[in-house]
Every structure is written in structure tokens, then in C-alpha cells.
Amino acid sequence: MTASFEKIDYSIRPAKHTERRMLSEVFRRLWPFQSISEYVYVGFGAIAFSDFILFHRNLGVRDMVSIERDPDGIERVRENVPFDIKIDNRPASQVLPELDWQRRHIFWLDYDDSLVPDMLLDSGIVATNAVSGTILAISFNCHRAKELAEAKEAGESVEALDLFRDRFGRERIPDDVSEDDLYGWPFGKIGRKLICNEIESALAVRNIDAKDLMSFHHICEIEYQDGAKMTTLVGIFVSDSDAEKLFSCSFSSLDFLGKDSGPIRISVPKLTIREIRDLERQLPLAAGAEIVRGHVPESDARNFVELYRYLPNFAVLEG
């Protein structure tokens, strides 16, 4: 098995970098539950540990656990670890049940692969154990379902949709889903729904005898493409007794959340350094003001205005 960092250069993924900054702003809103520095961050660090570095420096998170299930390259991972991060070289399904569930966690289960049942099971483990105030972000590759390639290899006798229904449970897949829905953003929507259903099923069992009911509150969904299409679901576990704390988090006031309830689509504008400077001089825009974009395409100018606080500051230095 090849480690993910040998397939993907994380240093040149501008949309991923933007998503990371946006999630940092989401996590910053957790203060009504407790000091964010007292949370435990659990993620997949690979060799760059980009999210760990950002959340430690920007949010002050001190306790961090990186899950690295691939045996290939584990020594390289250990050589590159910054700060005091615990490395656990086991699958998430083995690591998650052994965490200290008396503490609040920030989870970013950032899978590079296409959706598989294990991802649903991992989200169910979190839902079964999370204390109120724990936040979960879960990402997966939605470019195309694995079952499409498997059906092609098997020949005309096998349908990809049948493989998908068998793998995830026929009762879970709506009747109106077609093979076309196993590609791109429609596939991302199906996958996010399957994850939400898994979480709700775990909470239903958990709440049977609970005195303080636990629920999962949707915060946002993100879509982006740095090569392959990726999607992320973000939500928080909150007990009934902590409803006021959830209200105080004011997630709905985050500036990158649109007025509709659809996914946030990260589209990194292609601009020159001069164009960026000209646009930045006008920001933040006053209420009702229009950006003077010059010859910048309207879509690029609009994307920049919406996301400029989170876009990466990358430049190539040539001497």
C-alpha cells in the first residue's frame, strides 16, 4: 500500500489550503464549550502535518494525535513530525475507540480515498462516544466511486450501481439514484448523506436510555477540486443541556457561509500579484459596494472577494 503523501503533493493544493483556514475559523468558534487549547485534535498528518501546524499556531491546541495507517513511509512520517504529536500507526477504527472520551475533541478525518464503508463506521464510532462540544469534519474523494472501476473490470455482467448498493446497503440508497450520481458533486452529496445517516443511527441507539440527549448539528459542507474532486462534511455534537452554548458559537455568522444551505464551493481565482493587490486595496467592501475589478474576469473577482481571507499567499520567486 502506498502512503497518501507519495501520491499527492500537499504543498501545491491551494483549495485544500483554503479549506484548512476555513476550518480553523470554524474551530475557533468552539470557545463557549471550553478553551480551544484544551481540546484534543485528531487528524491524518502524513508527512506535512499542515493542519496540525496551523491549528497549534492559530488555535493553541496542544494535545494532538495523528493517525497514519499506511505502513509504507511511517519512518518518514516520524522523522517529519513537528511539536509533540502522538503518532498512531493503526487504522482509525482501532485508534478511535481507545481515545479519552471524557475530553472534547476536534476531529478532521481527512480521507484521500473514495468513499468506503469504513469511513461510515469511523463516523459512527465518534457519534457513539463524543461528549458535547466535540466537532467532526470528515472528507473524502468524490471524483468517482470505486465501484465504477470495479464494474468495468468485471465486464458487462456487473453494474456499478449494484455494487455500490450491495456495499453500502440497498436500504440506504434511494431508488432514484443512478450511475451518473456516482461521479463528482452528486456522488459527494450521496456520500455526505450516508455519513449523516450513520451518525444519526449511532445517536439513536445512544439516546435510548440517555437522560441528556445528544444530537449532531450540521455546520457546513465544502467542495473543492485540486485535481480530484473532494468534499467535506462538518458538524458538532451537542447535548440538550448545552443548547445555549451552541447558540453562542454563532457558526451561522461565519463570513464564508452563504445565504443558502448548499455546499461551499471553493474556487481559487487565477490572478496575478498586481491584480490581487488592486482588489485587496478595496477590501473589506462596505455594505452595498461593488468591487472595481478592471480586466479581472467577474467570476475570479467574485471568488476572491468571498474567500480572500482564507486564500493562500503562494508566489514563485525567480532570481
Q: Output the pLDDT for position 226.
A: 87
Q: Output the pLDDT for position 313.
A: 74
**288, part of any domain:** yes
Q: Output the pLDDT for position 259.
A: 65
- Whats the size of the chain, residue-wise? 319
- For residues 215 and 293, membership in a common domain is answered with no
Q: Output the pLDDT for position 7.
A: 45
Q: How many domains does the chain have?
A: 2
- For residues 43 and 79, membership in a common domain is answered with yes
Query: HEC profile for the chain?
Result: CCCHHHCCCHHHCHHHHHHHHHHHHHHHCCCCCCCHHHCEEEECCCCCCHHHHHHHHHHCCCEEEEECCCCCCHHHHHHHCCCCCEEECCCHHHHHHHCCCCCCEEEEEEEEEECCHHHHHHHHHHHHHCCCCCEEEEEEECCECHHHHHHHHHCCCCCHHHHHHHHHCHHHCCCCCCHHHHEHHHHHHHHHHHHHHHHHHHHHHHCCCCCCCEEEEEEEEEEEEECEEEEEEEEEEEEHHHHHHHHHHCHHHCCCCCCCCCCEEECCCCCCHHHHHHHHCCCCCCCCCCCCCCCCCHHHHHHHHHHCCCCCCCCCCCC
Q: Output the pLDDT for position 10.
A: 42
User: Cell 479581472 appears where?
Assistant: 296
- For residues 126 and 189, membership in a common domain is answered with yes
**19, part of any domain:** yes
CATH number of the domain where residue 85 is located: 3.40.50.150
Prediction pTM value: 0.90
- For residues 234 and 275, membership in a common domain is answered with no
**317, part of any domain:** no
Give average pLDDT by consecutive 10-residue segment, the chain, 319 residues.
Answer: 44 84 97 97 90 95 91 83 90 96 97 95 98 98 96 87 95 93 97 97 97 97 93 98 97 84 89 91 89 92 90 61
**114, part of any domain:** yes
Q: Output the pLDDT for position 98.
A: 97
- For residues 228 and 298, membership in a common domain is answered with no
- For residues 102 and 241, membership in a common domain is answered with yes
- For residues 211 and 303, membership in a common domain is answered with no
- For residues 105 and 41, membership in a common domain is answered with yes
- For residues 240 and 274, membership in a common domain is answered with no
Q: Output the pLDDT for position 12.
A: 58
Q: Output the pLDDT for position 5.
A: 40
Rounded CA-CA distance 133/105 in Å is 8
Report residue 304 as a C-alpha cell.
476572491
Q: Which domain holds residue 294?
A: 269-307
Q: Is 199 exposed, middle or buried (0-12, 13-18, 19+ CB in 10 A)?
A: buried
**164, part of any domain:** no
- For residues 277 and 252, membership in a common domain is answered with no
Q: Output the pLDDT for position 178.
A: 94
Q: Output the pLDDT for position 154.
A: 87
- For residues 230 and 300, membership in a common domain is answered with no
**129, part of any domain:** yes
**93, part of any domain:** yes
Rounded CA-CA distance 143/151 in Å is 16
**157, part of any domain:** no
Rounded CA-CA distance 38/200 in Å is 27
Q: Output the pLDDT for position 73.
A: 78
- For residues 86 and 123, membership in a common domain is answered with yes
Report residue 303 as a C-alpha cell.
471568488
